[in-house]
Amino acid sequence: MSSTHNALRSILQNPNTVVPTWHTKQLHAQIVKTKPTTLAWIFLIKCYASHGLLRHSLATLNHMRASGISPDRHLFPSLLKASTLSKHFPLAHSLHASAIRLGFHLDLYTANALINMYSKFPPNPNNRNNSNNNNKSTAKIDSVRKVFDTMPVRDVVSWNTVIAGNAQNGMYQESLDMVREMGKENLRPDSFTLSSVLPIFAEHVDVVRGKEIHGYAIRHGFDNDVFIGSSLIDMYAKCTQVELSVRAFYLLPVRDAISWNSIIAGCVQNGRFDQGLGFFRRMLEEHVKPMQVSFSSVIPACAHLTALNLGKQLHGYIVRFGFDDNKFIASALVDMYAKCGNIKMARCIFDRIEMRERDMVSWTAIIMGCAMHGHALDAVSLFEEMLVDRVKPCYVTFMAVLTACSHAGLVDEGWKYFNSMQWDFGIAPGLEHHAAVADLLGRAGRLEEAYDFISNMGVQPTGSVWSTLLAACRAHKNVELAEKVVDKILLVDPGNMGAYVIMSNIYSAAQRWRDAAKFRVHMRKKGLKKIPACSWIEVGNKVYTFLAGDESHPRYDKINEALNILLEQMEKEGYVPDTNEVLHDVDEDHKRDLLRTHSERLAIAFGIISTTAGTTIRVIKNIRVCVDCHTAIKFMAKIVGREIIVRDNSRFHHFKNGSCSCGDYW
């Protein structure tokens, strides 16, 4: 009892005392017995509010008023703040009503708290006309504006709250107008104002006006502010001026996790993956703890660079920082592992995401991964599971499942999904979906059907859609249709190098040498050149790049030696070079030598000599793997007893034990 008494006395002397919840209730019982003073009442009300017990607060407020004591104006801001924090909408509205009855709504601090509350809350549910979202945000801004306009005195906080509220609801012009109006009341925008309006210029890619704000910030000494700094970095990055982002970043005297995160995201969004990862490494070196969102930027960067080792390290950090439960991060990891060639790990991470946490993004990532790696049946059964889980597939999910169907030759399923996409999910099929169905029909040998399908697809077919059919014509040795198709391709895409190459190979295969030669001459006359082929391999933490015939690598002698030894063994096993795709006018020996040093072979040989036995070799190539390399790599994988994974511009080839996961159709 005496402890309660002492607590009571100390509270009355020092109204900022913090009291635990259970004690608040005990004190309440004591206080009401003692004819409490205004101060004691207010203390109790604030105590309840600070514990989030808003109903108790309000009941106490009513009790106090019933005993004849009026609350003072300091009470409402803290109650409004508490109800905003706990998102207790009905209570907040009834507080507003009480404030009006007592005349406190005109008080600066109470009104500021009201503006803040309305800009964060949905509009009053009693307002009937708020059925759609647009109306909702307008109604919300209306409530904010109503309070703001009736205020007799306004300070920077009042302006900032309304400006930020407008900006967050997409009412950009209103925000900017208010910054100007604010000056008329002799109030100067502060760092908070500036960080609300900078995202507007970012959204509208208006670097000129963004720079004006930057200038204002410098003149008024706000440019050292971490918030402004981060907003400036974001703004310049969204306006694709990454150099300026980097400069703004370096000018910051103190960098927190938010500013690091802004610069990393800015680099990655602008395709500067290496630079983004560089900043991430430095952030760790400077012992700044990364935020979850930082990983959402750097994992896709690894996926783009197909830097698997780096991706694995990031995964390590993620586990260490305890972010591996986050579904966004998990989805990004699934995508990264799949794109970097480790589909097993991708599947493993996906399986660990809890059922109810799996959303369209994570499902799509794993289905696409399986499809790209030729695990077509897995992709299709995952897609079915997704539907059973009532997760709605999107445009990309259908691309993935249709690709899978075409790789596995599932014609009926493919048609079913293609139709279901439009009729059940209302998604209009795009070029990619049509290309997948054309590919599906082509693979199944239904070439004429594929031709009709592409001719009548309702969208103008591109060269690449026709190209899938041309590849099918090659596989099924249909020269007549191939000629029709190649005309279609060259009509929409006269510079399509691939079409020339495949067509001349189709002629060669049909022993129509004269036609094949004519095609090559035609191609040379047009001055068409192949895109320089380039392959990458990651060894240790470094990515090595190889061009065809490239002798610049410091270990070229060793690479060359390895290729020669391999070639000897390959020939013993029955490998015969296929020189059809060599377009140079050189003798057969020279052609064989050109094939021997195609970029992916250099990369694979380097991988073999620089990693331990049994290590999987992963190589990325910028363009399609040629027929001869595809055969050669099958032999190589068997001879060295390793899995060799090659990703070209559209899919993964898993070479193992003398065969490839693509089933020799790509």
Residues that bind Zn ion (CB under 5 A): 598, 626, 629, 653, 660, 662
Q: How far is the CB of 212 from Zn ion (least distance, A)?
A: 54
Q: How far is the CB of 288 from Zn ion (least distance, A)?
A: 44
Nearer Cβ to Zn ion, position 91 or 605?
605
Nearer Cβ to Zn ion, position 197 or 660?
660
Q: How far is the CB of 628 from Zn ion (least distance, A)?
A: 5
Contacts of 632 (CB under 8 A, 6+ apart): 570, 575, 577, 595, 601
Nearer Cβ to Zn ion, position 120 or 553?
553
Give the number of other CB atoms < 10 A from CB of residue 38. 13
Nearer Cβ to Zn ion, position 88 or 654?
654
What span, in angstroms and rounded, lies between the C-alpha atoms of 111 and 561?
A: 81
Question: Per-residue DSSP letters for 404-461?
Answer: HHHHHT-HHHHHHHHHHHHHTT-PPP-HHHHHHHHHHHHHTT-HHHHHHHHHTSSSPP
- 363: nearest Cα among 337, 310, 400: 400
Q: How far is the CB of 247 from Zn ion (least distance, A)?
A: 44
Nearer Cβ to Zn ion, position 347 or 653?
653
What span, in angstroms and rounded, lies between the C-alpha atoms of 601 and 615?
A: 17
Q: How far is the CB of 477 from Zn ion (least distance, A)?
A: 19
Q: How far is the CB of 662 from Zn ion (least distance, A)?
A: 3
Give the number of other CB atoms < 10 A from CB of residue 518. 13
Nearer Cβ to Zn ion, position 605 or 629?
629
Look at strands 659-660 and 542-547 and give their pairing.
Answer: unpaired
Q: Name the helix (H) or strand (E) containing 653.
A: strand 652-656
What span, in angstroms and rounded, lies between the C-alpha atoms of 9 and 12?
A: 5
Q: Tell me which residue has tokens 């090559």.
A: 520
Nearer Cβ to Zn ion, position 232 or 629?
629
Nearer Cβ to Zn ion, position 308 or 646?
646
Nearer Cβ to Zn ion, position 246 or 619?
619
Alpha-carbon distances of 306 from 241, 266, 285, 302, 536, rounded to whole Å: 25, 20, 23, 6, 9
Q: How far is the CB of 660 from Zn ion (least distance, A)?
A: 3
Look at strands 652-656 and 542-547 and give their pairing.
Answer: unpaired
Give the number of other CB atoms < 10 A from CB of residue 271. 13
Alpha-carbon distances of 10 from 3, 24, 197, rounded to whole Å: 10, 14, 45
Look at strands 617-621 and 644-647 and give their pairing.
Answer: parallel
Nearer Cβ to Zn ion, position 156 or 497?
497
What span, in angstroms and rounded, lies between the C-alpha atoms of 46 and 54?
A: 9
Q: What's the farthest any 2 CA atoms get from each other in the chain? A: 112
Q: How far is the CB of 583 from Zn ion (least distance, A)?
A: 12
Nearer Cβ to Zn ion, position 182 or 583?
583
Q: In what order do the strands lie in the sheet with 617-621?
A: 542-547, 534-539, 617-621, 644-647, 652-656, 659-660
**Whether the Cβ atoms of residue 643 and residue 655 lie closer than 8 Å to each other:** yes
Give the number of other CB atoms < 10 A from CB of residue 584. 9
Give exposure, 383-419, as e/b (b: 16+ Cβ within 10 Å): beebbeeebebbeebbbbbbbbbbbbebbebbeebbe
Q: How far is the CB of 626 from Zn ion (least distance, A)?
A: 3
Structure letter (DSSP) for residue 224: T
Nearer Cβ to Zn ion, position 268 or 662?
662
Nearer Cβ to Zn ion, position 241 or 505?
505
What span, in angstroms and rounded, lies between the C-alpha atoms of 116 and 109?
A: 11
